[in-house]
Amino acid sequence: MRGLTVFALLALLACAPSPDRGGLQRRALTPAAASGWARLPLDGPAQRAWPELWLSDAEGVAIPFEVEREGLWQPRALDLEHVLLGRDPAGKATAEFTLRFPEGWQVREREHLRVDLDLEGKAPWVCRVEVQRRLEGGAFLSLERDAPLHVFDLGEAGGRRSFYLPWDARTYRLTLAPTQGEGPRLKGIALTACTRPEELRADEVLTPRLEPKGDGPRAVWLLRLEAPERIVGADVVLKPPVAPVLPELRVPAPPRGGSPGSGPDATPALLPVQGLVWNLPALGSRSTRLAWGPIVTDRLELSLPEGARLDEVKLLVRREVLIFPAEAGRAYYLHTGGLVKHAPGSLGALPASSRTVYATDPLKLGAAGADPNGLPRVVPGAERTRPWLPWAAALVVVLLGFYAFRLLGKEA
């Protein structure tokens, strides 16, 4: 029985918890050129490790950081003065207002202004938003954009009532020019100062695999990617001619305990999409851009109104950007694959302006290597022993049978 006892002790030792350092990785950051705020955009592998990552210096001391996309400088509602709501001589709804700054604030204290409109009208209608602003000591100047701004109500699942403007003035004038239906009445307006550096830009543009799905009045496609990505928008190109339409995008429900978009078909969740798409070559007019809040998924469901024909789809990816205080020339590292070492305190409590961050060049991530400062996960022994447990049990049965046979032989 001595051999059986030794085997049992070894089995108990194998079931003890053990740290797993196999997945620990460390990636060096390019040194900052000057001391101050530094920006670190995550690449694909680092984004997929989010949020289980942390920053450190060369000695392994955790460095505090914030996330740019989620707002290091929180949005703040602004009071308005000299507000005029009504219609211009052509009957278009118009608003003119002047921003009242909080104490110590100035123009561009945040990068953008979010405009929320309270509109009342009979759907369907679409209006182009014409923007003018009065620069310091001058006259009103029109805001030129690559893609026009629109607000609309197509009588479906609500309509777009908000949009973003660059904050470069104190006084603005907005005019709603109807392009479809009868223009609505403007009942109210609200402004919020916010940081929106990702507007109309993407870190990566991906082409999904298109799979037609189901029959019905609306054409439906499943958009598949090779791996989950942080998607914030899409360029949907329609075959001409087609007037402005509002596509619907949905996220298939994940399996229980799974990641978004990776589960079996279920009732998809509707995305709050902003934007219209159309393609009218005769007028030299086309629009493809749709935008929504970030969603991490490897597939989306796209549906178009009856008669609209899809040409191609590109998905826009925006990754997280970490912001942290860096000293010039000092070595910093990004750690992934293990437990997170948290730095004490909160950078969000600092009275800093976002302008100091966007003026700096972003840092870059180097190749992955071994991580001597990483915090390994503790793997329960049961997880390690599960693959060979049936074989161990079979061996125990064989040993017990062998000893029983010997005992019976001695008694005989």
pLDDT tens figures, 249-280: 999 876 544 444 444 445 678 888 877 899 99
The answer to whether 136 touches 95, Cβ cutoff 8 Å, is no
Per-residue pLDDT of 20-61, as tens digits, reads 777 899 999 999 999 999 999 999 899 989 999 999 999 999
Mean pLDDT of the chain: 83
CB proximity list for 386: less than 8 A, separation 6 or greater: none
C-alpha 214/C-alpha 223 separation (Å) is 14
Helix/strand/coil for 18 = strand
C-alpha 11/C-alpha 15 separation (Å) is 6
Top-confidence residue, 402 or 241: 241
- C-alpha separations of 395 from 8, 11, 19, 30, 73 in Å: 11, 12, 27, 55, 63
Partners of residue 269 on adjacent β-strands: 251
CA dihedral defined by 82, 83, 84, 86, rounded to 10 degrees? Answer: 180
C-alpha 93/C-alpha 177 separation (Å) is 8
| 138-147, 202-211, 255-264, 310-319: segment of lowest average pLDDT | 255-264
DSSP for 140-192 reads EEEPP-SS-EEEEE-SSS----EEEEE---SEEEEEEEEEESPPPEEEEEEEE
Helix/strand/coil for 292 = strand
Encoding tokens for residue 242? 């087609």
Q: Sign of the CA dihedral 61, 67, 71, 73?
A: positive
Question: What's the confidence (pLDDT) of residue 249?
Answer: 94
The answer to whether 151 touches 127, Cβ cutoff 8 Å, is yes
Q: Tell me the percentage of the chain whose pLDDT exceeds 70.
A: 77
204-317 CATH choice from 3.40.50.1370, 3.40.50.300, 2.60.120.260, 3.40.50.620: 2.60.120.260
Q: Is the peptide bond before 281 cis (omega within 30 degrees of 0)?
A: no
Per-residue pLDDT of 183-242, as tens digits, reads 999 999 999 998 765 555 788 999 999 999 876 778 999 999 999 999 989 999 999 999
- Among the residues of 200-312, which ranges form H helices? none
Question: What's the confidence (pLDDT) of residue 252?
Answer: 87
The answer to whether 199 touches 165, Cβ cutoff 8 Å, is no
| Chain-centroid distance, C-alpha 302 | 19
Relative orientation angle of helices 2-14 and 389-411, to the nearest 10 degrees:
170
Question: What's the confidence (pLDDT) of residue 199?
Answer: 58
Top-confidence residue, 350 or 250: 250
C-alpha 332/C-alpha 43 separation (Å) is 16
Q: Which residue has the tokens 């002790």?
A: 9
- Residue 13 Rama label (left phi>0; alpha psi -120 to 50; beta): alpha
CATH architecture of the domain covering 76-194? Sandwich (2.60)
